[in-house]
Amino acid sequence: MWRGGRWALQVVVGRRFTTAPPPPVGRLNHLAIAVPDLDAAAARYRDVLGVKCSEPLSLPEHGVRVVFVELANTKLELLEPLGDASPIAAFLQKNSAGGIHHICLEVTDIHASMAHVGKRVRLLDKEPKTGAHGLPVVFVHPKDMCGVLTELEEMKG
Ligand SMILES: CC[C@H](C(=O)O)C(=O)SCCNC(=O)CCNC(=O)[C@H](O)C(C)(C)COP(=O)(O)OP(=O)(O)OC[C@H]1O[C@@H](n2cnc3c(N)ncnc32)[C@H](O)[C@@H]1OP(=O)(O)O
Ligand SMILES: [Co+2]
Ligand 1, atom 39, lies closest to the CA of: 142
Ligand 1, atom 21, lies closest to the CA of: 87
Contact present, 92 and 98 (Cβ < 8 Å): yes
- Please give the model's pTM, rounded to 2 decimal places: 0.90
User: What is the 18 CA–ligand 2 centroid distance (Å)?
Assistant: 33
Q: Which atom of ligand 1 is nearest to the CA of 102?
A: 44
Q: What is residue 38's three-state secondary structure?
A: helix
The DSSP call for residue 74 is -
At 115 the pLDDT is 97
At 21 the pLDDT is 85
Q: What is residue 81's three-state secondary structure?
A: strand
User: What is the 53 CA–ligand 2 centroid distance (Å)?
Assistant: 16
What ipTM was predicted for this assembly? 0.98
Q: Which atom of ligand 1 is nearest to the CA of 131?
A: 6
Q: Which atom of ligand 1 is nearest to the CA of 87?
A: 21
Residues of the chain with pLDDT under 50: 10, 12-15
CA–CA dist 36, 97 (Å, integer): 7
Domain range 22-154, CATH architecture: Roll (3.10)
Round the CA-based radius of gyration of the chain to a whole number and report it: 18
